[in-house]
Amino acid sequence: MTGNVLVGQSGGPTAVINSSLAGVFKTAKDLGAGKVYGMLYGIQGLLDEKYIDLGEKLHSELEIELLKRTPSSYLGSCRYKLPDYDSQPEIYETLFNTFNKLNIQYFFYIGGNDSMDTIKKLSDYGTAHQSEIRFIGVPKTIDNDLEITDHTPGYGSAAKFIGATTKEIIRDSLVYDQKNVTIIEIMGRNVGWLTGAAALSEGVDCGGPDLIYLPETDFSMEDFLERTARLQAHKKSLVIAISEGIHLKDGRYVCELTEDRKYVDGFGHTMLNGAANILAQRAAREIGCKTRAIELNTLQRCASHMASLVDIKEAFLAGAAGVRAADEGKSGEMIILKRTSGDSKACKSIYECSTDTFDIHKIANMEKKVPLEWIDLTNNKVTKDFVDYARPLIGDELSPIMVEGLPRHIEYVI
């Protein structure tokens, strides 16, 4: 591997995004790359020439292990939409001048859907201008909404946190001898992979959520209140999981049924929050019971103390695979995870995962939703197929390195 490497992180962080960064850094150095630069605050920071030499920060295997166990984005992040070349060519000229100044031969961007759009645009520009730089996307998103890949690094740890937290909330809701409804609001924007993970709480010691609402289908306020009242009539405590992105038939998000102004980010995405509070207020007013709204919010993506070992390993694997793919001459592609399974002696499915690459043009700006056949519309839950899909991704734990009773993280550079 000749020349230097540039890697960045973009979009919302996850509990394992730094494991992918560790995979890129370590594999690039193992393959003989020169310097491995990290852009600070993603592509937006790079426009201001904000970057560091990661080799000056990561000196030992211990630091790499700490990096893998540290939540959020070590290099910082951004939500910056790279404009089309025709509208602002000077931005591309600025970026490629920086690439040339740093002798960059390999560019890696760790992120979700919008980040893959950045890889697509940079790769297309590079091809059109005969650049030899290789551009590879490394998948990351707790939303699990990237096409082609079986799942995304970050989802398994978030699903593990959601399943465990839902189980604890259900237990807590049984404390008092009075009727109550608890509504848990879960991230995911327009897809329900995370909300569906609340069903993982169901087991011999827990019945799981009473209702689960995903954004793949239209939400009916009347049906919600009717179902809730019917369940409340014969059950003391109800716990309902909803996606932040549930919407009415006319397309309005439930969280927009308020006078509060919603924040819109650089990609034009409306900040989705508050749906649980709206539903809790309606249920309290029309059913006449105690209600509580709980937003898991950023806890879903930063709870590295409950990260899935499967997720940490696959995040590292994705970063490493990206470097190997670029070293083999590939560009304009994203690393994908491929699920394989076999039968063990106990006749149980064995979960295994491998990597491959796929054309970024067939992934960027697309959104993978939960299959409708995995949604139980009769009971407002998810099916066994959904649970069987998600459960292997939350397996096993990687204990934090504890110092004075708290997890030790690597010192951040931002």
State the Cα–Cα distance between residues 377 and 362, nearest whole angstrom.
Answer: 30
To the question of whether residue 244 is assigned a binding role by annotation, the answer is: yes
To the question of whether residue 112 is assigned a binding role by annotation, the answer is: no
Show the DSSP H helices in 332-400 as ranges.
384-390
Name the nearest CA neighbour of 15 among 272, 393, 404: 393
Q: Strand, helix or coil at 66?
A: helix
Return the active site residues: 143
Is the separation of the CB atoms in 215 and 190 below 8 Å?
yes
To the question of whether residue 188 is assigned a binding role by annotation, the answer is: yes
Q: Strand, helix or coil at 30?
A: helix
Q: Strand, helix or coil at 302?
A: helix
Contacts of 346 (CB under 8 A, 6+ apart): none
To the question of whether residue 142 is assigned a binding role by annotation, the answer is: yes
To the question of whether residue 32 is assigned a binding role by annotation, the answer is: no
Q: Hey, what amino acid is at 135?
A: F
SS (H, E, C) 149-194: CCCCCCHHHHHHHHHHHHHHHHHHCCCCCCCEEEEEEECCCCCCHH
Q: Could you list the residues known to form a binding site for Mg(2+), using ranges.
A: 113
In the annotated binding site, the residues are: 12, 113, 141-143, 187-189, 244
Q: Which residues are annotated as a binding site for substrate?
A: 141-143, 187-189, 244
